[in-house]
């Protein structure tokens, strides 16, 4: 038997425990009991939680439903009495003393870092580490351990960071006095069902505290007779006439209850909210400010975070990109706060009960399909309460929601004319992996610059020829001043072996852009795959994955997930602004580690991807004039992506297209004064060419996140002001 308590905290009148326990096999029965200070058995609440991460480590591909737990144990602070958690499985029993003083101390800000470290120092953590070591090897173990320690020593805990960034009272008072040119009425629609009164009161209080005052609240309560929140609703309605409600008398389901609330709305915009969450006081103000910026804005969404059960602490902020259609079909990243033009809502229709569980996902997809413009407010203005019955805390409690979500994504593809073969479970429930139908059998021309390194080139090409499930390929090898005679012997041999391999000679100085442009002149394919010679395909479906995205009309470029030889990430998309100009995301993260909201494993849009492995339409390549030859070495691929995006085409990162990249074996480092000078000149050329994105920030990256690291950490407020780009020192 193995177990781990990941989180222990005291909230309201409960000790809250989150963790996992396993036996010898996935089906082992686990029995949990709780005892008080006198060793008397006591009642408690236990909810099983799906833990795919634990399944993957201990049972490989076998999925077990009940490995995790969310336990709530009654506790009265004044008693200060310890509890005993007893876990039995496979004939073994352990008793864990829950020292309430230590738990209280653990959650004080002064002790968080030290307690995080101490919490790692236990037998089960060491056992878990040993299992990870056995499964993934020493290098992966050392990498993950380093990242864990770096996480403990992060610059800020989120509550501290939030306090430093939230508006001051003076700013809130200024908002209350501000008069917009357009003051739309905002209808906050709230479906209620068996709502705890204190949670609904907290939501209503947060609305009464809004700095923008032209709003109404429309609550539709579908609770069973005698269990409605009418008492609290009546009290608030008497306090403020903007608060309106209807007692439905029956449960029409989440969609039916929401539609009933929408039917009450008389506002210009509809604001979706849940009955047990809260809003920041400037939430509606910021949304109205966005609406005033452009009359064509039909949809507004904001960032969000989570609120613990008793409202005492904020945690796990979700700082989102600007509208990102491929990320939205990978996961409902928009979620809260969501605001939609009332007229658009009437056009697309309300909530659909056949998607209950993912009804908001389906609704958001339909709204974004028809919206003229979509605006993202990069501020955490919605606080999503995390409790045992919410998907925020316990995904297994609403597993059906994920299945409804897959149907919602497939229906979205059908409406917009995208031929999807399947929408399946991605890395976790609620994350989707879409595959697309390949129209015809188009030729893909693989362009590979090469100078000597014939063994690397051979591995690169043979891995694709032998492993790839997509076969209609040609290879254009651009020979670039090789000096080794064995290289030319290899060229002769490989062209005789495969009639779809062609070697062409570039006899001028090294210029990555010019070499690739030259190679393209020999290509016959409708699609171009730019590839470094030091790569190796891992997933046989990689080219099919890329082509599925690239065939869509709105897509111009597709990039892939690249791994170093030690299975850490070398590339998972590019953010313009990292390090001053541009850089790869999630560098150094092991492929088995979790990334920021799992985005390393989500198909999504970026401003750019690396040309170490990048597919593009030949027609678009010709339209923009290929790679810019004045960028001979650096940033030419980023520049190319920017040119394609200027045509209103999307750049897509496809995580299931997976290659090794052994990194720049063909060319040396920038290690001479001449090379450094050239590199700096190319930085200036790129900056002069694309000043807007460097000034305003990458739309696919949130300004609250750092530009100094690739891991999507919070922006360091001592060195990087929010909304200001990181200045590169050259």
**Tell me, what's the pLDDT at 108?**
47
Q: Please check whether residues 409 and 448 belong to one and the same domain.
A: no
Nearest-CA neighbor of 16 among 52, 45, 36, 48? 45
**Tell me, what's the pLDDT at 156?**
63
Mean pLDDT of 4-24: 78
Q: Please check whether residues 362 and 485 belong to one and the same domain.
A: no
Is 139 within the bounds of a domain? no
Nearest-CA neighbor of 215 among 206, 225, 224, 223? 206
Q: Please check whether residues 588 and 671 belong to one and the same domain.
A: yes
Q: Please check whether residues 242 and 356 belong to one and the same domain.
A: yes
Q: Using 50, 70 and 90 to split pLDDT, how confident is the model at 110?
A: very low
- Write out the two tokens for 289: 């400010």
Q: Which residues in 38-69 are b (16+ Cβ under 10 Å) and which e?
A: eeeeeebeebbbbbbebbebbeeeeebebbbb
The residue from 416, 433, 458 where one domain ends is: 416
Nearest-CA neighbor of 687 among 332, 679, 655? 679
Cα separation, 723 vs 590, in Å, equals 30
**Tell me, what's the pLDDT at 174?**
96
HEC string for 2-31 = EEEEEEEEEECCEEEEEEEEECCCCCCCEE
**Residue 604 bridge partners (DSSP):** 653
Of 703 and 74, the one with more pLDDT: 703
Q: Please check whether residues 25 and 63 belong to one and the same domain.
A: yes
Is 435 within the bounds of a domain? no
Is 464 within the bounds of a domain? yes
Is 152 within the bounds of a domain? no
Is 118 within the bounds of a domain? no
Q: Using 50, 70 and 90 to split pLDDT, how confident is the model at 148?
A: low
Cα separation, 650 vs 142, in Å, equals 37
**In angstroms, how far apart are the furthest CA atoms of the chain?**
90
Mean pLDDT of 682-700: 91
Is 132 within the bounds of a domain? no
Q: Please check whether residues 178 and 37 belong to one and the same domain.
A: no
Residue 142, pLDDT > 70, answer no
Domain that holds residue 273: 169-416
**Tell me, what's the pLDDT at 119?**
44
Q: Please check whether residues 280 and 402 belong to one and the same domain.
A: yes
Is 112 within the bounds of a domain? no
Residue 64, pLDDT > 80, answer no
What are the residues whose beta carbons fall under 8 Å from the beta carbon of 392, sequence distance 6 or more? 306, 384, 385, 386
Q: Please check whether residues 565 and 626 belong to one and the same domain.
A: yes
**Tell me, what's the pLDDT at 680?**
84
Judged by average pLDDT, the poorest of 7-11, 359-363, 562-566, 643-647 is 7-11
The residue from 73, 90, 107 where one domain ends is: 107
- Say which CATH number the domain at 477 has: 3.90.550.60
Nearest-CA neighbor of 336 among 287, 293, 288? 287
Mean pLDDT of 547-551: 97
* Helix 112-120 / helix 138-152 crossing angle, nearest 10 deg: 160
Residue 153, pLDDT > 50, answer no
Q: Please check whether residues 409 and 487 belong to one and the same domain.
A: no
40-54, 555-569, 681-695: which is most confident: 555-569
Q: Please check whether residues 74 and 185 belong to one and the same domain.
A: no
Residue 112, pLDDT > 50, answer no
Residue 314, pLDDT > 50, answer yes
Structural domain total, the chain: 3
């Amino acid at each position: 038997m193995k177990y781990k308590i990941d989180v222990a905290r005291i909230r309201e009148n409960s000790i809250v425990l989150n963790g996992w326990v396993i036996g010898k096999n996935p089906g082992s029965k686990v029995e949990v009991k709780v005892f008080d200070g006198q060793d008397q058995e006591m009642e408690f609440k236990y909810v099983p939680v799906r833990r795919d991460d634990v399944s993957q480590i201990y049972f490989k591909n076998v999925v077990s439903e009940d490995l995790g737990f969310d336990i709530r144990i009654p506790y009265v602070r004044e008693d200060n009495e310890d509890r005993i958690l007893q876990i039995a499985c496979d004939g073994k029993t352990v008793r864990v003393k829950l020292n309430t003083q230590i738990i209280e101390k653990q959650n004080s800000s002064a002790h968080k870092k030290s307690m995080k470290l101490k919490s790692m120092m236990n037998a089960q953590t060491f056992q878990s580490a040993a299992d990870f070591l056995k499964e993934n090897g020493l290098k992966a173990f050392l990498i993950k351990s380093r990242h864990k320690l770096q996480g403990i020593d992060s610059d800020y805990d989120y509550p501290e960071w939030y306090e430093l960034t939230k508006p001051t009272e003076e700013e809130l008072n200024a908002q209350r006095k501000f008069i917009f040119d357009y003051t739309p009425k905002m209808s906050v629609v709230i479906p209620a069902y068996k709502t705890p009164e204190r949670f609904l009161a907290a939501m209503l209080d947060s609305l009464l505290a809004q700095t923008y005052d032209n709003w109404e609240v429309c609550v539709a309560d579908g609770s069973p007779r005698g269990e409605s929140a009418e008492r609290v609703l009546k009290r608030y309605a008497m306090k403020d006439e903007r608060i309106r409600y209807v007692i439905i008398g029956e449960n029409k389901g989440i969609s039916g209850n929401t539609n009933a609330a929408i039917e009450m709305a008389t506002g210009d915009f509809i604001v979706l909210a849940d009955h047990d969450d809260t809003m920041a006081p400037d939430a509606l103000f910021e949304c109205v400010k966005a609406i005033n910026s452009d009359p064509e804005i039909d949809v507004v969404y904001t960032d969000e975070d989570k609120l613990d059960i008793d409202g005492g602490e904020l945690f796990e902020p979700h700082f989102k990109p600007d509208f990102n259609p491929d990320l939205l079909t990978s996961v409902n990243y928009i979620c809260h706060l969501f605001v939609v033009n009332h007229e658009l809502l009437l056009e697309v229709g309300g909530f659909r009960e056949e998607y209950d569980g993912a009804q908001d996902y389906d609704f958001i997809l339909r709204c974004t399909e028809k919206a003229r413009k979509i605006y993202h407010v990069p501020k955490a203005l919605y606080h999503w309460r995390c409790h045992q019955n919410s998907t925020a805390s316990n995904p297994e409690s609403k597993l059906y929601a994920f299945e409804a979500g897959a149907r919602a994504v497939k229906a979205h593809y059908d409406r917009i004319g995208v031929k999807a073969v399947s929408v399946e479970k991605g890395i976790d429930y609620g994350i989707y992996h879409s595959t697309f139908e390949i129209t015809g059998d188009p030729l893909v021309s693989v362009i590979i610059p090469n100078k000597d390194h014939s063994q690397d080139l051979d591995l690169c090409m043979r891995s694709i020829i032998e492993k790839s499930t997509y076969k209609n390929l040609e290879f254009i090898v651009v020979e670039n001043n090789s000096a080794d005679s064995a290289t030319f012997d290899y060229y002769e041999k490989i062209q005789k072996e495969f009639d779809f391999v062609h070697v062409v000679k570039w006899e001028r100085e090294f210029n990555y852009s010019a070499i690739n442009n030259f190679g393209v002149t020999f290509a016959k394919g409708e699609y171009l795959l730019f590839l470094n010679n030091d790569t190796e395909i891992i997933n046989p479906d990689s080219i099919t994955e890329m082509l599925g995205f690239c065939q869509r009309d709105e897509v111009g470029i597709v990039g892939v997930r690249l791994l170093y030889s030690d299975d850490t990430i070398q590339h998972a998309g590019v953010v313009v602004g990292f390090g001053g100009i541009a850089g790869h995301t999630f560098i150094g993260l092991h492929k088995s580690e979790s990334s920021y909201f799992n985005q390393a494993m989500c198909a999504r849009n970026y401003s750019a991807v690396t040309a170490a492995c990048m597919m593009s339409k030949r027609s678009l390549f010709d339209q923009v004039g290929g790679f810019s030859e004045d960028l001979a070495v650096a940033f030419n691929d980023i520049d190319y992506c920017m040119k394609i995006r200027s045509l209103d085409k999307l750049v897509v990162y496809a995580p299931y297209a997976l290659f090794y990249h052994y990194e720049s074996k063909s060319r040396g480092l920038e290690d001479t004064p001449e090379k450094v000078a050239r590199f700096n000149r190319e930085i200036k050329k790129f900056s002069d060419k694309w000043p807007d994105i460097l000034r305003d920030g990458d739309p696919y990256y949130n300004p609250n996140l750092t530009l100094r690291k690739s891991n999507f950490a919070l922006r360091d407020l001592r060195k990087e002001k929010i909304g200001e780009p990181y200045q590169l020192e050259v």
